[in-house]
Structure 1
């Protein structure tokens, strides 16, 4: 469906909106790029979408036009009138909640799995991603994640071992889900233009290894990569049972965290559970 609303740039001007650096805002105005992002999760006809930080609603429009029913959480009250215009143009298709996404339980908003699609504010994007990746039970309450990040963060999420980008986010994203960079966007696509390029990461849940709690692999990776230039026997010595787990799995304590595969972290985590 087409919403028949004025161009987003006109809406922003009509409401006197400007992106706030303190809120990590950068507005994406190109309707073609927004439509492309809305297609990343697949066919959204009659699907439920959770959007964090919609701002003036550019991506919200594209998601609704792609067939989705959207629940949007926005903490910036200045943007609510622009979002209300979308809700009026698409009755029953948009629920707006003025709140801080870090302070609410997203899962409680839905009765069926939701696709999370968002141009995440830069200042909370990683924290929200980690929360969603650590969901318990698994499979999670979300069907997929399609999230905008700074390109360097996107590369960390999808990185492979023995690369400079490989770290805690890589393991958390890959031990029971499949992330990929779906598209990249130049800085000039945004208003105001950030200093870095952006990328949309698409993540779908996969089968979780048996016998591991998210909290265990979270603690393990936090310790291992907290001192990433040090050997594992040094970085993990403060984590109870970790050195014994290295020995039980035959992992050389002189290695550094960035050399371990996701599967090796899973094996160590299993030993920590035991």
Structure 2
């Protein structure tokens, strides 16, 4: 074997050129660096196998619906029901039949960097998508549950034509066939895609309003009721982004 360890690393971990015969031949290479590299490769291969299996599991609802004649399947999810400030954001996404993004799952299980990278890919490859916000004043007027449904409904309407909805533990008052899944963002790749778009959009919005309302830490706690957030409200006052019907903001007016 004349390849250097660096060349072997590139071949094993960064290309698709490696075949099983080559892999077996490396096992007889006694260099410690090669053996460590093989351990890394085997761990990488196991991880890829797990991600492939997860992808298959997360596309089973979409495949079943397509076998029943549904083709424009929209996954819908929201983020921001619980915070004391900021909007509730819903996304609706229709993915192409051959969409594959290994590692895509519930946005809360992904790092910020991974979510943002995935959101870019989803937007580029989606058949269609819509992201809608309902802001604090409307949430105070109609409550958070109705605001969530309103954001989702607006997102679906903007897609124009939809055959079937896949939702995360909710149903909408729409004349469209629907499937509601408990923990749907961990079971359906289409719902997971919507989850990522909603989360990235809301986080970006909260980062932007920190520029308008410096000192609240919106870019860090994104509106949730952390100790730092409540101390900032006590010190600086309530903003238009705060949900005045939510405790303890309600008591701080």
TM-score, length-normalised on structure 1?
0.28
Which one scores higher on RCO, CA 8 angstroms, separation ≥ 6? 2
Of structures 1 and 2, the larger Rg is shown by 2
Q: More helix per residue: 1 or 2?
A: 2
TM-score (norm 2): 0.29
